[in-house]
A and B are shown apart, each in its own frame.
Chain A
Amino acid sequence: LVFTEEDKYGLYSNLLFKYFLAEGIVCGHDLFVASAKEHPDNILKELPAPLLDDTCGKELGDEAAAVKSEDFQESMKIAWRYQNLPKMEASPTTYTKFGHYYDVSKKMSPELRQSVKWHSFYLHEELSLEPETKAWNMNSGYARLLQSIQRIISQEGFDGSDPQKKQRNVLRIGIQSLGSILWGDDVCCSDTPEDPHSLTKFLYVLRGLLRKSLSACIITVPAHLMQNKAIMERVTNLSDTVVGLESFIGSERETNPLYKDYHGLVHVHQIPRLNSLICDVSDTKDLAFRLKRKQFTIERLHLPPDLSDTVSRASKQDLAGSAKLLSSGCGAMAIGKKHLDF
Chain B
Amino acid sequence: QGQFTLLRDTRTDGSFLVHHFLSFYLRAGCKVCFVALLQSFSHYNVVAQKLGVSLAAAKERGQLVFLEGLQSCLDLLFGEEEQPGQPSPLQFLSCRELRALFDFVRASLAPADGQAWNGPVLLLDDLSLLLSLGAAPVAVLDFIHYCRVSVCCQLKGNVVVLVHSNEDSEDEENELVVNSLCHHSDLILWAQGLATGFCKDVHGQIKIIKRLSLRQAAEQDVVQIYQYKIQDRNVTFFAPGLSAAVL
Interface residues of A (CB under 8 A from B): 134-137, 146, 150, 197, 200-201, 204-205, 207-209, 211-212, 228-230, 233-234, 237-238, 273-279, 281, 283, 285, 324-325
Contact = CB atoms under 8 A, between A and B. Distances in A.
Contacts of B166: 233
The A interface, classified by DSSP as helix, strand, loop or mixed, is loop
B94 A230 contact: no
Given A137-B93, A197-B133, A277-B232, A208 B170 contact: no
Interface in B173-219: 173-174, 197-198, 200
B171 interface: yes
B220 interface: no
B129 A230 contact: no
Nearest to A227: B170
A234 B129 CA distance: 8
A275 B46 contact: yes
Interface in B18-45: 19, 38-40, 42-43
B58 interface: no
A221 B160 CA distance: 34
Contact of B70 (A136, A212, A228): A212
B224 interface: no
A125 B21 CA distance: 49
Interface residues of B, number: 45
A136 B47 contact: no
Contacts, number: 103
A278 B71 contact: no
Contacts of A324: 197
B100 to A, nearest CB: 15
B112 interface: no
Interface of B: 13, 15-16, 19, 38-40, 42-43, 46-47, 50, 69-71, 73-74, 77-78, 93-95, 128-129, 131-134, 164, 166, 169-174, 197-198, 200, 230-235
A273 B15 contact: yes
In terms of DSSP, what is the predominant structure of the interface of chain B? Answer: helix
Contact of B233 (A137, A201, A277, A283): A277
A237 B133 contact: no
14 contacts: A137-B94, A197-B134, A204-B132, A208-B73, A212-B71, A229-B171, A234-B171, A237-B128, A277-B16, A277-B230, A277-B231, A277-B232, A277-B234, A281-B198
B171 A233 contact: yes
Nearest to B16: A277
Question: Which 10 A-B residue pairings sit nearest by Cβ, starting from the closest?
Answer: A230-B171, A208-B70, A200-B132, A229-B170, A197-B134, A234-B132, A275-B46, A211-B40, A208-B74, A230-B170
Given A237-B164, A275-B46, A281 B133 contact: no
Nearest to B78: A150
A150 B231 CA distance: 37
B47 A277 contact: yes
Given A204-B133, A273-B13, A276-B46, 9 more contacts: A136-B94, A150-B74, A197-B133, A208-B69, A234-B132, A234-B171, A238-B132, A276-B47, A277-B233
A5 to B, nearest CB: 16
Contacts of A200: 132-133
A230 B172 contact: yes
A205 B74 CA distance: 7
A324 B73 CA distance: 41
